[in-house]
Structure 1
Amino acid sequence: MGSCERRDDMRRSINIAAGLLLLAGSAAAASTQVPWDRIDGGSSLKEIEREIVAEVLGQAKCYGGCGETVLACLQKNPDDKIAKRLAAFAVRRVKADQDTPDILQEIEDRRLSAFPPKVFTPDLSGTRVCGDPKAPVKVVLYADFGCPYCKATATSLRSLLGKEPKRLAFYFKNYPLKSHDQAVPAALAVLAAERQGKFWEMHDLLYEEDQNLGETYFESCASKLGLDLARFRSDQKEKGLLDRLRAEKMEGIQFGVEKTPGILVNGKFYRGVRTWEELLDRIEEEGDLIAAGL
């Protein structure tokens, strides 16, 4: 009986080893089919990284219109913009130490960001805009002035538009968090500054010194911007500004914002990796989809 069990264990071990060798051989074979020189960052990958990316590309569906796997799309048309973006994304993610299941899930999150079950229509009437309001891509940011991730996103968008003002339209909406005791006062300060034509200037100053938020700093910023201090103080206390602040946050909640920053790209909730590089890629991808009529 013990001898039979040992033989069964040996067979199982041999089968597992054979299966692993088969998978390794399959991944290596798939790697040779990928046009690495046409994928951003592909040529610099280590062999094990190439095998992971090849496995991802052989499973992930390309949502750019071809209806096949990303690898099949690249083999048919190495210049397919969406397939190339997804392949470059997989390269970046494997370099960030993500494995096949994680990258496949992140690609699914990208798909839902590009083709969500619902597209929202935020109220942009009276909302301040940075960039060209006629731009084909509109980004709405629901943010808190005490949130470091909001700061990174907002300042990156501002920097991008400082160089390319016609590239997109960036709308800012307040979404103060209860965990930040100066979130509401900061939001009211920026809305009060807007009444004197200095919304974006105050926005930038608040994010510049986000660790010093408080009444003293708000008034220091108002003085620096040349605002009428008496009016600034009065406006911050006005019920109309608080109502507007509540409306902005409520809209974000209705659209599914649970944490900051909440981001809409042409009304599509961004569900992707929360880095500036990946958000910018999603913005550029939206332009590609519009150009392709998708």
Structure 2
Amino acid sequence: MAKSDWPELVADAPALGDARRPLVVEFVAYDCEYCRRFHVTTREYLASHQNVGFVIRQLPNRFVQRSRGASLAALCAHEQGQFSQMHDFLLTDDQWLRTDDWASTARRAGIRDVNAFLSCQRAPTALARISQDSALAARLHLRVTPLLISRAQGVKAGELTLPELIEWSSRP
């Protein structure tokens, strides 16, 4: 990954923390067990580093339909300003992994307008966003999740512990 890719990586994507100060880009698949475990580290990191953001890109498992559905759910929640809520829900709840009932998942996650959420899931916009994120990952030869990218540090694949994340992300 070249530093010239950074603007494209951070542009026009949902973020956790301070979206104006992206420190890390994370490619995520919501059914990925490593992503689910790493999410705990991400929350701890952002709780103690409130002046930075994590940009989240979608890289669903192309062989698992629910993985794509979860990415759609996250992006459709983002349309309502509730990305963080759905992102957290998908990475901490297990029930959605066993159902295709996205209306129920949205209600359980606390999405305000379930009808708008479902309309978004049927519209081509969110699906196109997932395709764009997947194409970006492919162009950069990124294939696994969780995958972290820092402008200063480059690419780091796999989950990190909180001390490892602090050390990796704080290097100039």
Q: TM-score range by the shorter chain?
A: 0.7 to 0.9
CA deviation vs aligned residue, 1:178-205 (integer Å, no higher than 9, x gap): 2333111111111111111111101111
Return the letter of the residue paired with 2:60: P
Residue 179 (str. 1) matches residue 66 (str. 2): no
1:153 and 2:38 correspond:
yes
Is the 1:145–1:210 Cα contact (8 Å) retained in structure 2?
no
User: Is 1:144 the equivalent of 2:29?
Assistant: yes
Whose RCO is larger (CA < 8 A, sep 6+)? 2
Question: For residue 96 of structure 2, what is the aligned residue in structure 1?
Answer: 212
* In 2: Cα distance, 1:123 partner to 1:253 partner: 13
Give TM-score, length-normalised by structure 1.
0.51
Specify whether residues 273 and 280 from structure 1 end up closer, same or farther in structure 2 by C-alpha distance, changes over 3 A only.
farther
Question: 1:147 and 1:231, CA in 2 relative to 1: closer, same or farther beyond 3 A?
Answer: same
**Corresponding residue of 2:105:** 221
Match of 1:236 in 2: 121
The correspondence of residues 264-279 of structure 1 with structure 2, limited to 5 A, is: 264-266=149-151, 268-271=153-156, 274-276=159-161, 277-279=163-165
Counterpart amino acid of residue 16 in structure 2: C
Counterpart CA distance in 1 for 2:118 and 2:112 is 10
Q: Deviations over 1:68-125 (max 9, x none)?
A: xxxxxxxxxxxxxxxxxxxxxxxxxxxxxxxxxxxxxxxxxxxxxxxx7x33323423
Cα 1:284/1:140, change in 2 over 3 Å: same
The alignment status of 1:188 with 2:72, answered yes or no, reads yes
**SS at 2:35's partner residue?**
helix
Map of 2:48 onto structure 1: 163
Unmatched runs of 5 consecutive residues or more in structure 2? none
Separation of aligned partners in 2, 1:272 and 1:182: 23
Matches within 5 A, 1:22-61: none
RMSD of Structure 2 on Structure 1 (CA):
2.3
> Any idea what SS the aligned residue of 1:185 has?
helix
Match of 1:131 in 2: 17
Residue identity in the other structure for 1:247: Q
Distance in 2 between residues matched to 1:227 and 1:273, nearest whole Å? 33
Q: Aligned to 2:85, which of 201, 216, 233?
A: 201
Gaps of 5+ in 1: 1-115, 290-294
Q: Tell whether the 8 Å contact from 1:188 to 1:241 is kept in structure 2 after alignment.
A: yes
| Alignment check: 8 A CA contact 1:176 1:183 kept | yes
What amino acid sits opposite 1:282 in the alignment? Answer: W
Structure 2 residue aligned with 1:23: none
2:19 and 2:114 map into 1 onto residues whose CA distance is 31
Matches of 1:273 and 1:235 in 2, distance apart? 31
Asked if 1:248 corresponds to 2:133, the answer is yes
Number of positions where the alignment pairs a residue of Structure 1 with one of Structure 2: 167
Taking every aligned residue pair, what percent have the same amino acid on both sides? 23
In 2, Cα distance between equivalents of 1:239 and 1:273 = 31
The answer to whether 1:283 aligns with 2:169 is yes
- Corresponding residue for 1:259? 144
Whether the aligned pair in 2 keeps the contact of 1:146 and 1:211 (CA below 8 Å) is: no
State TM-score, norm by structure 2: 0.84
The verdict on how the C-alpha distance between 1:255 and 1:268 changes in structure 2, with shifts beyond 3 A counting, is farther
What stretches of structure 1 move > 6 A for 4+ residues in a row?
none
Greater share of residues in strand: 2
Larger-Rg structure: 1
